[in-house]
Amino acid sequence: MYRVLDGLTLLQQWLDDQPNEVQALNLRGNLYWQISAMGKAADDYRRVAELDPRRREARERLGIGLLETGRYDEALKDLQQVRQWKPDDADLEVQIARCHERIGRPQQAEEILDAVFAKHPDYGPALRLRGQMLLQAGRPADAENWLRRAVNAVPDDYQASWSLYQAFEKQNKTAEAKDQLAFAEDLKDRGVRLGEITTREMTARPRDPALRCELGGLLLKKGLNELGERWLLSALTLDPHYRPAHAALAEYYRKQGDADKADAHRREAQTSPSTSPTSTSRDR
């Protein structure tokens, strides 16, 4: 977070001198996007798109930023423009369907989702949106079926998990609702923790194997296996005897069916010293 704030300060100084500098506006929009300041990001992306219409990513992010901040008519206009050069993008189609649904055009939204399902029957965001629309329509039992599929397709999707909890609650399925609420809250907490590590703590403690190990574990839970594995292995480059990283890798490789690697890391987790010189002197 500190680096983001420093970056915003520097970019503001740049823009004070050159208010129409496209690169500075785009970079500032990217930083606002990174910290989920969607309204401010959309304002910068709008200027970028006006000054340089060739920047297609800025136009797409402008549309999503407008959608996320409740400016649905404007968002629809921009996203439909993006559709011209991304005609078969499932995520874009779902965003456009969301615009129609928010504006009060459920039939158009349903037609777009049907077209997505024809090509991508298990596309998580589309399954989630259909379930949410059924919830809004007062049909929680039907919503449950779609939201179960959404959660299966994208297990780390907090909105899908929360919506499934709502579907259970509206049907008075107390036990299922309780379990689903706990799962959804755990997802939310993990997302918050992931943000804390990547935007603040990793900058302050870049050579802490415990932090790298925690980040790797969080990424594995999100299904980002290759990235999670790399962070766990990077913890071991700092401390080759760090037990939690070996244990996490042993479990990861077991699930991947790599028995040799799983056994090797399991042995290291069991035999490595509980404290090593590297782990006690990190970041010094």
pLDDT by residue (tens digit) across 179-217?
Answer: 999 999 999 999 889 888 987 788 889 999 999 999 999
- 237 and 273 fall within a common domain: yes
Q: Which domain holds residue 24?
A: 1-70
**Residue 161, helix vs strand vs coil:** helix
pTM score: 0.76
pLDDT value, residue 12:
86
pLDDT beyond 70 at 75: yes
Summarize pLDDT for 79-101 with one digit per residue, the tens: 999 999 999 899 999 999 999 99
Final residue in a domain of this structure, among 204, 238, 268:
204
- 28 and 108 fall within a common domain: no
Final residue in a domain of this structure, among 19, 39, 70:
70
pLDDT beyond 70 at 32: yes
- 190 and 212 fall within a common domain: no
- 121 and 168 fall within a common domain: yes
Nearest to 212 by CA among 225, 228, 196: 228
- 143 and 245 fall within a common domain: no
pLDDT beyond 60 at 173: yes
Summarize pLDDT for 55-74 with one digit per residue, the tens: 999 999 999 999 999 999 99
CA torsion 46→42→120→150, rounded to 10°? -170
Final residue in a domain of this structure, among 181, 204, 227:
204
pLDDT beyond 90 at 165: yes
Mean of the pLDDT values across residues 35-56?
A: 91
CA 151 to chain centre: 14
CATH number of domain containing 115: 1.25.40.10
- 184 and 275 fall within a common domain: no
pLDDT value, residue 202:
86
Mean of the pLDDT values across residues 31-57?
A: 90
CA angle 55, 84, 126 (to 5 degrees): 100
Burial class (CB in 10 A: 0-12, 13-18, 19+), 250: buried
Beta-carbon neighbour count of residue 224 at 10 Å?
A: 15
pLDDT beyond 90 at 44: yes
In a domain, 108, yes or no: yes
- 100 and 171 fall within a common domain: yes
Higher local confidence (pLDDT), 184 or 31: 184
In a domain, 15, yes or no: yes
CA distance 126 to 49: 28
- 18 and 63 fall within a common domain: yes
Mean of the pLDDT values across residues 221-237?
A: 93
CB 262 within 8 A of CB 253: yes
In a domain, 82, yes or no: no
